[in-house]
Amino acid sequence: QVQLVESGGALVQPGGSLRLSCAASGTRISAYAMVWYRQAPGNGREMVASISAGGIPNYRDTVKGRFSISRDNAKNTVYLEMNSLKPEDTAVYYCNRVATPAWSWGQGTQVTVST
């Protein structure tokens, strides 16, 4: 069974930075495109960034130029570097594979951008 563990979330001021990690166990992620999602209170889950098995990234328009997704297949981990954070980035962040069905969801990591 695949397990995903997200970490790195925190309370940060606007303009700050965070690095999120998603560690997978139970499978090797190297063959899979991976994706970071986020869900804010009262909103549905939305795609933030994805990365192909070959390392090609894709971003939602609102985070382009601020966020960077990467992967370390040797560590079985996907990262999300977030810079110039805005209050509207506040959400719980989750990772998973792009393909369906999704793996079991992790607990997510809370990112709060506030003064």
CA 49/CA 19 separation, integer angstroms = 13
Angle, vertex CA 91, rays to CA 39 and CA 73, nearest 5: 80
Name the phi and psi angles at 88, rounded to 5: -70, -5
From 1, 25, 14, select the one nearest 114 (Cα to Cα). 14
Tokens 């989750």, residue located: 94
pLDDT of residue 60: 97
Residue-level pLDDT at 61: 97
The pLDDT, as a whole number, for residue 67 is: 98
Specify the pLDDT at position 47.
97
What confidence score (pLDDT) does residue 46 get?
96
Which three-class secondary structure string do you get for 63-85? HCCCEEEEEEHHHCEEEEEECCC
**pLDDT reported for residue 33:** 98
In order along its 115 residues, the chain shows pLDDT tens digits of 999 999 999 999 999 999 999 999 999 999 999 999 999 999 999 999 999 999 999 999 999 999 999 999 999 999 999 999 999 999 999 999 999 999 999 999 999 999 9
Give me Rg for the CA atoms of the chain: 13
